[in-house]
Amino acid sequence: MPDLQISQPDGDAAYRDWQHVHNVIIPTHVLSLDEVRERARRHHLEVAYLGEVLVGCSTVRPPVDGTAGTVIVRVLPACRRQGLGEKLYARGLERARELGAEVIETVVLSSNEDGLRFAQKHGFVETERYLLPGDTIPWIDMRLA
């Protein structure tokens, strides 16, 4: 099996890869390339490849209130259950703590059953469920217990 390579996107090709994974996993909130570039200025984004194959991405939102950071991991459906999410999550958790997060949160689209199971397996518990304007599928905010 090829090695997993995880890095920050460093140009439009990598931003498009990050965008592709996000938009596959979150079809209710499709992002444009410009929106991805803007997120990269505010958050720590990473993209993951198994050899040359795109497998996932992650987002770490730094703490804004001094304590809570958000770690979001996305793995393409065909690439799940291989330990790739574990590696992305470990890196995201480490990065959030480096940025000063004392509390770790995540957010999962409620229709993403694999994502919910992954978060719960790692000790996250639901704190809030809500709809964004125009959405029909709720988002679930979760906190690491």
pLDDT (tens digit, 9 = 90+) per residue, 88-101? 999 999 999 999 99
- Is the predicted pLDDT of residue 2 greater than 80, yes or no? no
Residue 28: how many CA atoms within 13 Å on its side-chain side?
A: 14
pTM of the model: 0.92
Instruction: Give the CA distances from residue 13 to residues 33, 48, 54, in Å, rounded to whole numbers and listed in that order.
Output: 10, 13, 12
* CA R_g for the chain: 14
Average pLDDT of the chain is: 93
The pLDDT confidence band at residue 1, using thresholds 50, 70 and 90, is low
Under DSSP, the state recorded for 3 is P
Q: Which residues contact 77 (CB under 8 A, 6 or more apart)?
A: 24, 114
Mean pLDDT of 7-29: 95
Find the range with the poorest average confidence among 2-6, 51-55, 113-117, 136-140. Answer: 2-6
Would you give the end-to-end CA distance of the chain in angstroms?
34
Q: How far is CA 48 from CA 11, 81, 119, 127, 144, in A?
A: 14, 15, 19, 29, 23
- In order of start, what are the domains of the chain with their CATH numbers? 4-144 (3.40.630.30)
Q: How far apart are CA 74 and CA 58, in angstroms?
A: 6
40 exposure class (CB count in 10 Å sphere: 0-12, 13-18, 19+):
middle
